[in-house]
Structure 1
Amino acid sequence: MDFSVLALRSALASGSLTSEALVRESLERIGRLNPIVNAFSQVYDMEALEEARACDRERAQGRLRGPLHGIPMGVKDLFFVADKLCQRGSAAYKDFAPKATAPIVQRMIDAGSIMIGKTTTTEMGWSGSGCSEFYGPTRNPWNPERTSGGSSSGSGAALAARMVPFTLGSDGGGSVRIPAAFCGVFAMKGSLGRVPAWPWSATEMLSHAGPMSLSAKDSAVLFNVVKGPDPRDHQALPDDGADYTVPQSLGSLRIGFAPSLFGFSVAPEIDRVVRQAVATLSATLGVDIHMVAPDWQDPIRIFETLWVAGRGVAYGAQTDLSAFGSGFRGLVEASAHYNLADYLSAAKARAEFAGSVHALFEDIDLLLLPTVPVEPFAADREAPAGFTSPSAVLAWTGWTPFTYPFNLSGSPAASLPCGLTANGLPVGLQVVGQRHADALVMAFCQQAEDHIFQNKIPPLVVAGDKAGWGTPSNPTAEKSSCNSTGEHS
């Protein structure tokens, strides 16, 4: 079964597929593959089947809830859903159930989607790996010994494993783009405020919400549903009025390609695959792609101060941090080393860095670069073995230098699958646009994906064989622990 949103919409509309059959297929795949990859933390099987039957009855009566009528989704376990557990990957919130639903979730439900369960995340979304002391590690369907990336860990893995047609994720420093790159799926972080984010986050100036899917074409449909303001998010942008599914001409685009940023060493296989993809796009799309070398300084200290100090504001007043995992607890404890002057200085520096990013787009329309400069590494680590990070607190920022800069600038940035390494692991091509040029980024990605990678399926899914990959990981199993250096303990 083709698990893309567009294919499923067509099958449901033609009557060749029912919502109940689709949800049963999702549940079967979750039951078979979740013990291997640990993508879902909660599954609402009976409720989802009841909703599917209701969708089938309504369709038979000629009534559709919206463009996603009867299509299941997974929701990252940071998003509030009324009266459902929102554990946030933390023992501190293991029994927390909010009384309201986040705008992005409600819009998908109103469009007819069926929430089939919650997907795993790193604790409070703090890290870029898939390692969780609460859920256990989330594993990569391309090789379950490797990480899925994070913090939308389960959302990326569930998609790659074809458990659901789409998922919801959040991105404060790369958290939809990193798992998209590692798992070979598509995700775009829209411009800051394009999709409303609620409830309030201590890093609201960095935080984005959005869908993840198997293709840019699917995500175009999903963004049409979720974009637009909500009064609960004071940063939310007005709807840009664009239909992201409508093709745009690319012929006159000025596109820059940066093989790296900040002098960072890109793994040879990542570099090879990305360069090959860029060459293919230049030839097949008929666009001018030229090398660029932005003279930006790595904004790691800016990001670290906002990320760490913000967590201190939100959680530092708690006298007992013992319920939090070691990584997140270390982050909160480190926040004590920052003062108001540090925070305001970082906010000022962030504005200056964002200005330098915006200035680049005076000369180009799109920037292409690797999403992540390393291959997926061991599932129980925060960073590749032997890897050192310039941040003593945030080990993951040392191997994600190409994602967090565009959270600081608020730019739209997508990760597009562009090929496989010699190890058979996916590589992401990052496509970045001028702030508010979300429709252009999406249009480019939709045309580009026809020529690179083309939605390959992990061998694990093809084989349907979990033998040899160890015992299931779940919230009640023995937990794996990752410290701030990435060492497994």
Structure 2
Amino acid sequence: MTELHYLDATTALRLFRSRELSPVELLAAVAARTEAVNGGINAFTETLFDEALPAARQAAASYARGRDLTPLLGLPVAAKEKHGLKGRTLSQGLVARKWERAKEDHPVIERIRRAGGIIHARTTTPEYSCATVTHSPLWGVTRNPWNPQFSPGGSSGGSGAALAAGLAPLATASDIAGSTRLPASFTGTVGYKAPYGRIPGLAPLSADHYRGDGPMARTVADTALLAGVMAGRHPGDHTSLDGPLALSLPDTGAAAAAGLRIALCIRLGNYPVAADVEANTRAVGAALRSAGAVVEEIELAWTTEDISRTIFTHFGYLLGPAMEDETADSPESLAAYTRRFMADARKAADENRFIDGIRAETRIQAELAAAMAGFDALICPASAVAALDADGTYLDGIEAAGGERLDHYWQGHMTAPFNIANRCPVLAVPSGMADCGIPTGVQIVGHPFDDATVFTVGAAVEAVRPWAARRPDLLVMS
């Protein structure tokens, strides 16, 4: 029987409606689990259980009346710290800004609350969400519940760790180069990078076409549930798209794979993929093929060097200068990885004009479109490397498969191409276990704005490679 703190959101809602479970009971179980294990993984910047309890009681009363049953009513939701809550601190992980407060709810928080979700905790990030590990001078090191030696990834690492450890059924995330999909991959959870504009962001960086906010959960259905609540036009984000996101997942299990045409791409060019990551990715393809999908292996001509140059040229004209403006009064307090990020972005902008970056982006987008022609979706690993050290800074690069040394550790991740092609929806789902004892994941990449197909494929992968019942062997830590 599933422990209450690991109950998925979809099942919890059904039990709320039938009055077999109260939102108060679920919140109490999550609170007890947090007290027992969060000290060992450090997934939260703060907990809000005192505020959450009255909301849970109010939700229980609504279920008792059978009225005002909103889509997330009574569900605990962990919020990434960068998704501000009006009146509460909003530091972006920066020591110098630890007392700043949000003037309003972030758009995704506003929508979660309107849908009845209860923000019960806030999750850790690296400084300014600019790293794929999650540690900072302000909050310390966040660890992977599957193996605390390793990171849950970043920048939404606190969200991934909280989900994997049973500290929340739903969580918010964001993604500008893999910050949702990498934590999902490293923690055995599900993360969705929506196409640009699908989910509203916060100005002015909502105008950055690489970025996006989105949902994480432990199942595909729960991720679709939260995505549907988050999506739609918002007056504060003029890039946001009109209309609801209606995701109807197949209830036929593995049969959903029948007839799908899947492109399987192991290396996206020359990414040095670890043997265990490759084996798990191929196992996903084989399972889909056995369930009736047509799976064909393809190649792309990308290089890690080209992708890295393209993304850092982009960062050199947007995120890098924004970070420099935000930290100009306290550069000495920044983590080394933050200083490295800004320096790399500045160097790329010095060496490449903005139009050079746009030309590279449109070429990469065209190459992806050509490779996916005739397929419903593309599947590839989320990360070429199986794990990152929890406290690693990787200032001198990273050693990849076969002893190859990559100049920048981000070159070990395979997510950034789909921020360059950011009209493509991407769903990250578990693919298996790495030899080091943490999960691996694949990305399901769809055609531009074809959200429904990636969730259909995700549901099929979940059916043919069942994962949700697996739990980290997490002992109570102090």
TM-score (norm: length of structure 1): 0.89
- Please show how residues 29-44 of structure 1 align to structure 2 within 5 Å: 29-44=33-48
Which residue of the partner structure matches residue 281 of structure 2?
274
> What value does the CA root-mean-square deviation take over the aligned residues?
2.2
The partner residue of 1:349 within 356, 360, 379 is 360
- Please show how residues 287-366 of structure 1 align to structure 2 within 5 Å: 287-297=293-303, 298-317=306-325, 318-337=328-347, 338-339=349-350, 342-366=353-377
The partner residue of 1:426 within 439, 443, 459 is 439
- Please show how residues 47-446 of structure 1 align to structure 2 within 5 Å: 47-201=51-205, 204-239=208-243, 242-245=246-249, 250-284=257-291, 286-297=292-303, 298-317=306-325, 318-337=328-347, 338-339=349-350, 342-383=353-394, 386=399, 391=407, 395-400=408-413, 402-410=414-422, 411-446=424-459
Superposed CA deviations along residues 45-69 of structure 1, whole A, max 9, x for unmatched, are 1001111111112222222351111
Taking a change above 3 Å as real, the CA distance of residues 86 and 320 of structure 1, as seen in their structure-2 partners, is closer
| Paired residues of 2:312 and 2:345 also in contact (CA < 8 A) | no
Comparing 353-362 with 372-381, greater Cα deviation is found at 353-362
Of all paired residues, the percent bearing the same amino acid is 27
Distance 2:29 2:301 in 1: 50
The alignment partner of 1:418 has SS state of: strand
Distance 2:380 2:271 in 1: 12
Distance 1:202 1:323 in 2: 26
Unaligned runs of 5+ in 2: none
Taking a change above 3 Å as real, the CA distance of residues 289 and 431 of structure 1, as seen in their structure-2 partners, is same
Which amino acid letter does the alignment assign opposite residue 73 of structure 1? V
TM-score (norm: length of structure 2): 0.91
Distance 1:450 1:23 in 2: 29
Q: How far does residue 241 in structure 1 lie from its aligned partner after superposition? A: 5.3
Q: How far does residue 444 in structure 1 lie from its aligned partner after superposition? A: 1.2
Q: How far does residue 161 in structure 1 lie from its aligned partner after superposition? A: 0.2
Comparing 98-107 with 240-249, greater Cα deviation is found at 240-249
Taking a change above 3 Å as real, the CA distance of residues 152 and 446 of structure 1, as seen in their structure-2 partners, is same
Comparing 133-142 with 318-327, greater Cα deviation is found at 318-327
Distance 2:45 2:329 in 1: 28
Moved over 4 A (4+): 246-250, 333-336, 383-391
| Paired residues of 1:141 and 1:458 also in contact (CA < 8 A) | no
The alignment partner of 1:211 has SS state of: strand
Distance 2:439 2:278 in 1: 12
Superposed CA deviations along residues 325-349 of structure 1, whole A, max 9, x for unmatched, are 2221333345444349623321332
Unaligned runs of 5+ in 1: 467-471, 473-489
Taking a change above 3 Å as real, the CA distance of residues 101 and 79 of structure 1, as seen in their structure-2 partners, is same
Which amino acid letter does the alignment assign opposite residue 86 of structure 2? A
Structure in which a larger fraction of residues adopt helix: 2
Distance 2:106 2:49 in 1: 21
